[in-house]
Chain A
Amino acid sequence: MQDIILSVRNLSLDFRLRTHILHAVRDVSFDLRRGKTLCLVGESGSGKSVTARALMRIIDKPGRLVSGQILLDGPGGVVDIATLPERGREILALRGGRIGLVFQEPMSSLSPVHTIGSQIVEAIRQHRKLSKKDARARAADLLRQVEIPDPERMLDRYTFEFSGGMRQRAMIAMALACDPDILIADEPTTALDVTTQAEILDLIRRLQQERGMAMLLITHDMGVVAEIADEVAVMRYGRIVESGPVDSIFHASSHPYTRQLLDATVRLESGAAARSPAATSIFEAKAVEPVISVRGLSKTYGSVGRIFGFGGGSSGGLKAVDNVDFDLYSGENLGIVGESGSGKTTIGRLLLRITEPTSGSITYRAPEGRSVDVTGLNKTELRAYHRDVRLIFQDPFASLNPRMTVRQIIADPLLVSGQMSDRQAGERVAELLRLVGLDPLAMERYPHAFSGGQRQRIGIARALALEPRVIIADEATSALDVSIRSQILDLLLSIQQRLGLSFIFISHDISVVRYFCDRVAVMHKGRIVETGDAETICTNPSEPYTRRLISSVPNPDPRNKRMLHRMRLQES
């Protein structure tokens, strides 16, 4: 086969941990072809990233290559990368020279103390004997290829002056610096917004086709796979369970795990079909009082006038949230979507007064019908309010105290409020754990014994402990794998039906919001640009911003690539 540039045969990697040996990769074989893209898809911990790193022999300790071949076709014949010494000259020449790598995190993979230009020049001069001037000219050319405007000037900028998307472009330029034959992209767009993701994927795709490179793209997102892949390999627990052309994987998959992965993605994509269709706009129609109603809510950061105690308050500063109005009705799921920096997380924090609002009002209707002005509550009243309105955090790892057992974590709000004795609290914790689908026997364990999805269930149990009325879920599923994500969403929906809760669901993920919410508010630059019925917003939005946002979401169907026909809005 002429066009195979790299072929991996029976690759196995072990991690020798303190308590056991983890066989992270087992008997993995695949081929990369010139001008084609192979997507390695799998959930976290499936071994996809470490496989890619093995191709460049940059496995972190205590990982070890146990067996297998990595055959790279080159001008001097076929080389087995697996047998090269890890610090040898040959492997250094390959890294960056013949194989380029783009990392997930554009924030930390570029040096903050060097200019973008000097980093690219460095990458070029590592492998090519070019003068500094020539290398710089080439760097500018590379920036032009990755569509960074005004490349000559941008070379002298520092990393912090670049946005996330620009950084990822610069990272790609660096990976392409020496015209590699193979580009490995490890979750290149996971940290980016959907609109930026669409642009970056588009760019990678075009560059790859122009240069005839082979590409190995690692992702957990079936939508991205459908948009970009030629071939797909599905990984699970260190094995490739199924591989083949993209169309047959999506439309004729044989392995149950692949189907399950696709189901989870497609189910989220299909919207809240399972929910009662009458849920649309009955809330406004019935003219019931909302549980929470927000009027003119604003939060300004770094206003000059406030720091020095004079001047007109809101002069200058960053308006994180700008004059936001919305209502949350009882039993309703309100989604707040927006890209990073749109102010959606700040709204959640303002509602709970973790952050103090600059202006505006939040009115909470207590169960006995009394209206409470949340912005004017003192500490004691705020504690009572916090019992009714609870928060589910984004990060299931940081939000649970690692030094407390699950029982202590969930019982904490019960004990603090003084409602229960220790024994009663223990019974309630068991009940809550059953409610969120965990074994009550696990309550004496520490959080580190649980997976991400299980930890998020613990976080949900903690939020439910005090029988709240409203739950604010701030990106509650974005740290989770897609199959776990839909499980958690279904769990929340079933709990809602049983307990009659209202949700404010903050997310950047449109498919999740569509699946979970009745109504959606779309945020952009601190403002709510559009509010409406979830189905309408997701299928037929009226605002141009919303339309652009929706059209950037990758569609998990290779026969209907949405992103290629997406709307591009010329904007800063």
Chain B
Amino acid sequence: MLADNRPLVSSLASAETGPAISPLKPGASIASDAAAGQWTLIRHRFFRNKVAAFAGCIILLLYLIGAFAEFLAPGLPNASRPQYTFAPPQRISFFAPGADGGREFLPHVKGYRIEIEPQALRRTFVIDENKVIPIGFFVDGPAYRLWGLIPMTTHLMGPLDSREPMYLLGSDRLGRDLLSRLIYGTRISMSIGLAGVAISLTLGIVFGAISGFYGGWVDTVIQRVIEIVSAMPTIPLWLGLAAAIPLTWSPLSVYFVVTLIVSLLGWTGLAREVRGRFFALRGEDFVTAARLDGSRERRIIFRHILPSLTSHILAVVTLAVPTMIVAETSLSFLGVGLKPPVVSWGVLLQDAQNVRSVATAPWLLIWPSLAVVTAVLSFNFFGDGLRDAADPYDS
């Protein structure tokens, strides 16, 4: 206890007045948590976990990339250039041979030249060390509308002459820029799961709360329903639903609808979690005290029980998002989720389905997978950290 000023102690003038404490560093003052609420304590605890805090930063970064995809991407996701198919990634260099024979500062990438493979007689692009393509920040490039509204032509970075090729992560079989597609894909992949999670969350909390608070036969009925729902196989359902949706719908809305339907089945885990918490909290002394204070049921639930749950729910949600991301990726990879021309990480991985393209253009496999792994890991670390910090009051 920090603010311990028991009268017992103060009555003894000669004695010490409390446990001996000293600040962490000599001369520093001693902080007090006395007026710190639940969220302040959670924040303190969360930021002590450096990995989780770092993962949180990565997640924030990914969402920022998704939000400003048009501006950050050097090109347009679906602009194909058949003259640069499977072009390998370029490296950025900062010094180029100057006109006077010395080296001058000039950020640039190297251009490509065509080579014919002698065995397969196939055209391949290789880096041409002699071709210098100057690049820069805030350059004019292909026209786009930011968030579909504001017409702009400025890109964060790109070649000074927008007709020159710049493929920092390489290009695909149609000569589209992988970096731009990855950035656009971030927007879709990181957001498409959220709607599903939101629906699962609502259903889970409502049914879990009712089940846990009232108990008895209400609980029994809801639990049996949960068991039936969670017995349904998800993957065949996804496949079936994806096939049953009219072909005329846009691929994005198809996927959206499928996510919604599956989230109608995905709320069961959360409902169980919430029910368990309610059961535990219902027997807590402070809830009994609230009942004896004359609180009605609604006030007990919303004022006393739910605030104790919010942090846990937040953690559960954070851990549910990566499942959705992985689901999107795997379904798109199988060809039943998102389909071109929509760009998502899963769609990008479709291009890496056959061994031949992986052999010629390994970057098509590496970068989208890396994006998925980074996102999923970050969410998991973040969620774990949040779960550990969620209850700041257990000793």
Contacts and interface: CB of A to CB of B under 8 A. Distances in A.
Interface of A: 16, 18-24, 26, 45, 236-239, 241, 256-257, 260, 352, 354, 383, 386-387, 390-391, 393, 395, 398-403, 405, 412-413, 416-417, 437, 442, 444-446, 448-451, 453-454, 459, 462, 483-484, 487
Contacts of A484: 6, 8
A419 to B, nearest CB: 10
A20 B295 CA distance: 39
Given A21-B24, A403-B38, A416-B299, 14 more contacts: A19-B32, A21-B21, A45-B1, A237-B18, A260-B12, A391-B292, A393-B288, A401-B289, A403-B307, A448-B41, A449-B35, A450-B3, A451-B6, A484-B6
Contact of B289 (A20, A26, A399, A450): A399
A226 B225 CA distance: 62
Nearest to A455: B1
A403 B30 contact: no
Interface in B257-301: 284-286, 288-296, 299
Given A23-B19, A395-B285, A402-B38, A449 B294 contact: no
B286 A257 contact: no
A194 B299 CA distance: 41
Contacts of B304: 401
Contact of B293 (A444, A454, A462): A462
B81 interface: no
B34 A354 contact: no
Contacts of A446: 33-37
Given A237-B16, A416-B295, A400 B44 contact: no
Interface in B1-28: 1-4, 6-8, 12, 14-16, 18-24
Given A237-B16, A462-B293, A402 B393 contact: yes
Given A21-B24, A416-B293, A403 B33 contact: no
Interface string B149-192: 00000000000000000000000000000000000000000000
Contacts of B24: 16, 19-21
B30 A487 contact: no
A237 B9 CA distance: 11
B48 interface: yes
Given A354-B288, A416-B294, A26 B20 contact: yes
7 contacts: A20-B30, A21-B21, A354-B288, A401-B290, A402-B286, A402-B393, A444-B35
A403 B37 contact: yes
Contact of A449 (B3, B16, B30, B308): B3
Contacts of A398: 284-286
Contacts of A257: 12, 15
Given A237-B16, A416-B295, A450-B3, A22 B289 contact: no
Nearest to A453: B6
Given A413-B293, A448-B393, A487-B7, A20 B21 contact: yes
A93 B224 CA distance: 53
B19 A237 contact: yes
Residue among B15, B16, B48, B293 facing the most chain A CB atoms (10 A cut-off): B293
B232 interface: no
Contact of A413 (B19, B34, B294, B308): B294
A442 B1 CA distance: 14
Contacts of A23: 19-22
Contacts of A237: 16, 18-20
Given A45-B19, A403-B37, A416-B299, A18 B48 contact: yes
B120 interface: no
B294 A386 contact: yes
Contacts of A445: 3, 34-35
A19 B38 contact: no
A400 B293 CA distance: 12
A20 B23 contact: yes
B231 interface: no
Of the candidates B1, B41, B292, the one having the most CB atoms from chain A within 10 angstroms of its own CB is B292
B31 interface: yes
B233 to A, nearest CB: 35
Contacts of B4: 451, 454
B294 A238 contact: no
Interface in B311-336: none
Contacts of B36: 446
Contacts of A442: 3
A412 B12 contact: no
A412 B286 CA distance: 12
Nearest to B31: A19
Contacts of B35: 405, 444-446, 449
Contacts of A401: 286, 289-290, 304, 308
Contact of B20 (A238, A383, A386, A417): A238
Nearest to A483: B8
Interface in B132-161: none
Contacts of B33: 19, 446, 448-449
Contacts of B23: 20-21
A19 B2 contact: yes
Nearest to B3: A449
B310 to A, nearest CB: 9
A356 B148 CA distance: 63
B7 A22 contact: no
Contacts of A45: 1, 19
Task: Choose among A24, A354, A400, A412 the residue with the greatest number of B CB atoms under 10 Å from its CB.
Answer: A412
Contacts of B2: 19, 449
Interface centre among B8, B15, B37, B304 (most CB of A within 10 A): B8
Cβ-closest 9 pairs across A and B: A449-B34, A399-B285, A413-B293, A23-B20, A398-B285, A401-B286, A451-B1, A19-B31, A402-B393
A399 B34 CA distance: 18
Contacts of A395: 285
Contacts of B3: 442, 445, 449-450
B379 to A, nearest CB: 26
A449 B1 contact: yes
A20 B22 contact: yes
A386 B288 CA distance: 12
Given A399-B285, A399-B289, A402-B393, A454 B294 contact: no
Given A399-B285, A403-B308, A256 B34 contact: no
A19 B30 contact: yes
A98 B76 CA distance: 76
